[in-house]
Chains A and B, each alone.
Chain A
Amino acid sequence: MGKISLKQVTKSFGDVTVIPALDLDIEDGEFVVFVGPSGCGKSTLLRLIAGLEDVSSGAIEIDGVNATEAPPSKRRLAMVFQSYALYPHMTVRKNIAFPLKMAGIAPDEQERKVQAAAKVLNLTNYLDRKPGQLSGGQRQRVAIGRAIVREPAAFLFDEPLSNLDAALRVNMRLEITELHHSLKTTMVYVTHDQVEAMTMADKIVVLNAGRIEQVGSPLDLYRSPRNLFVAGFIGSPRMNLLTGPSAAAHGATTIGVRPEHLTLSRSEGLWPGRVTVSEHLGSDTFLHVNAGDLGTLTVRADGEVDARHGDSVFLTPQTGKIHRFDADGKAMA
């Protein structure tokens, strides 16, 4: 079981309030991703759940039991750190067995659990090495192994992939998702990378300056962002946001159109403009179009589109794909 509830949790460092009162429920077995820009308080929130920081007020419940005052070791949570935080002087085997040893589990039982975890994570051949002799991805797996053997109520991941190179990151992303499918344990995952959030999460929590902007499934957030912040944060490349007359025409202060919801034409369309940069990715082409008063718009076009700097093009938003926001930045129905 691993149901975590935050009730009116706040956190201040001195006079600075990092997290104003916040409520959040994490259901058992869910993969929840906290996402937001740097300094939005997502790591602090995770550390509050872990018990590495004390809450300033409010309560944290784990499986219905108040754990606000419980020390980290008593919360039955396991954490994977950004720097992996492996013990450099211990072999992989001892690293993974450390929580078991601290729990006073018999050595043969420890060895059995370490072997089982190593098998799941493809570490069996590396058990006698020290962390210094492993690659980044292997270290990451050892850190996950150390978390798995404890059979925790929930896993906490603090930007675990940010120290890996791009190719490895995609692999580890898949591995962690598969791990979640096989263990079915609650996972709370912090990242600033919205691609990680979109691909892994059952539920995304978008944070900004310590406040929760929106909670929902990846597609919910993509289809109906509740405000301008979420609209701009979720989706890659970013949503085009337009103000002025073109927004007023739709009865809104700001309208947003995602790059993939603009239709590109050489001959006719709503908004004329000139291509400034075209990025050919093979599968797609991202065109940055200078559309005069509207500013620069990004369009996602077919990979075979051969547009060059200075070409004149027309853009038309697809009907029903326009997001409207009021003067406060809130989405309008």
Chain B
Amino acid sequence: MATQHSRSAARLMISPAVLLLLGWMIVPLAMTVWFSFLNYNLLQPGPRTFAGFSNYYYFLTDPAFFTAIWNTLVLVLGVLAITTVGGVLLALLLDQPMWGQGIVRILVIAPFFVMPTVSALVWKNMFMNPVNGIFAWIAEALGLQPFDFLSQAPLFSIILIVAWQWLPFATLILLTALQSLDSEQMEAAEMDGASALARFFYITIPHLTRSITVVILIQTIFLLGVFAEILVTTNGGPGTASTNLTYLVYGQSLLQYDVGGGSAGGIVAVILANIVAIFLMRMIGKNLEN
């Protein structure tokens, strides 16, 4: 890319890909914005009239909206808490030399390869089912009343399922970070009189902060859009107890056939996600620079 000529040639050659991606993004976005200003319901035939901001008004004043925001927040933060703390602990464990290390590491990564729908169904039917689930069996074996996870603690159950899926990702990233820690630093700290706990807090955790921020950033992006796990387990219920923003938009447009309202919800979700992304990028960008 040294000369003016080669630079413009490069621009020319990447332009088709850029234009394609731009179109791919812009067309659906523009259509969603357009629909969000229309009275557009699949159950009401006839011309689609301009609706102004009424779709937004109804979506934002819907009591389910605030529940959904709250649930989204709880879901994202809950999963982040479990995966980062659990990931650090698991990474520490896997970093210890042991027999069959390679196989154990592959097994730990395995949940990440299972599709969200599949893993959610496995959890729903084989673990959390109050009749056939293994948790119910354990409870009965201990002489306790089986706990119906998905109806009594729906959001918590979904957090558990999603955390199970993302724990390997966090563990993997944190494990590689842990392996890059200079062993001489640990030895120096040992000679300086730091106990194992002090070494963990003063050396290991500061060394891991960068990777932890990366884990948080990537996971947040994906966790804001959790959908399949909710669809196949609770359907957002009971009531709206496990409805997040994505699921609310789905319900609006595909269960109530209100395309206009759903589009308005989609735009709201996009705006909120962007606000979160800007905050995260700033916070993490600062962290990555040092």
Contact = CB atoms under 8 A, between A and B. Distances in A.
A and B part of one assembly: yes
Given A73-B190, A73-B192, A103-B193, A89 B184 contact: no
Interface residues of A, number: 24
Contacts of A150: 192
Contacts of B206: 87, 89-90
Interface residues of B, number: 18
B188 A85 contact: yes
A79 interface: yes
Contacts of B191: 50-52, 72-73, 77-79
Contacts of A52: 187, 190-191
Q: Binding site of B, secondary structure by majority: helix, strand, loop or mixed? A: helix
A50 B188 CA distance: 10
Most chain A beta carbons < 10 A, residue from B190, B192, B195: B192
B185 interface: yes
B192 A81 contact: no
A82 interface: yes
B199 to A, nearest CB: 10
A79 B188 contact: yes
A150 B193 CA distance: 10
B203 A87 contact: yes
Contact of A87 (B187, B190, B202, B209): B202
B198 A102 contact: yes
B190 A102 contact: no
A255 B122 CA distance: 81
Interface in A202-260: none
A316 B82 CA distance: 80
B182 A83 contact: yes
A99 B192 contact: yes
A85 B193 contact: no
Nearest to B207: A89
Contact of A102 (B185, B187, B194, B209): B194
Interface in B165-209: 182, 184-185, 187-195, 198, 202-203, 206-207, 209
Contacts of B188: 79, 81, 85, 87, 146
A185 B102 CA distance: 47
A99 B209 CA distance: 22
A85 B202 contact: no
A81 B185 CA distance: 9
A103 B195 CA distance: 10
B100 to A, nearest CB: 19
Contacts, number: 57
Contacts of B184: 81-83, 85
Nearest to A130: B290
A98 interface: yes
Contacts of A51: 191
A82 B192 CA distance: 16
A114 to B, nearest CB: 14
Contacts of B190: 52, 71-73
Interface in A45-91: 50-52, 71-73, 77-79, 81-83, 85-90
B194 A85 contact: no
Most chain B beta carbons < 10 A, residue from A72, A86, A90, A103: A72
A132 to B, nearest CB: 9
Contacts of A73: 190-194
Given A87-B203, A89-B207, A98 B189 contact: yes
Nearest to B209: A89
Contacts of B189: 87, 98
A72 B206 CA distance: 23
A202 to B, nearest CB: 24
A154 B210 CA distance: 36
Contacts of B203: 87
Given A89-B207, A150-B192, A98 B187 contact: no
A87 B193 contact: no
A52 B191 CA distance: 8
Contacts of A99: 192-193
Most chain B beta carbons < 10 A, residue from A78, A89, A90: A89
B11 to A, nearest CB: 36
Interface of A: 50-52, 71-73, 77-79, 81-83, 85-90, 98-99, 102-103, 146, 150
The 4 A-B pairs of least Cβ separation, nearest first, read: A99-B192, A85-B188, A73-B193, A85-B184
Given A73-B194, A102-B198, 12 more contacts: A78-B191, A79-B191, A81-B187, A83-B184, A85-B187, A85-B188, A86-B185, A87-B202, A89-B206, A98-B189, A98-B192, A99-B193
17 contacts: A51-B191, A73-B190, A77-B191, A79-B191, A81-B188, A82-B184, A85-B184, A87-B202, A90-B206, A98-B189, A98-B202, A99-B192, A99-B193, A102-B198, A103-B193, A146-B192, A150-B192
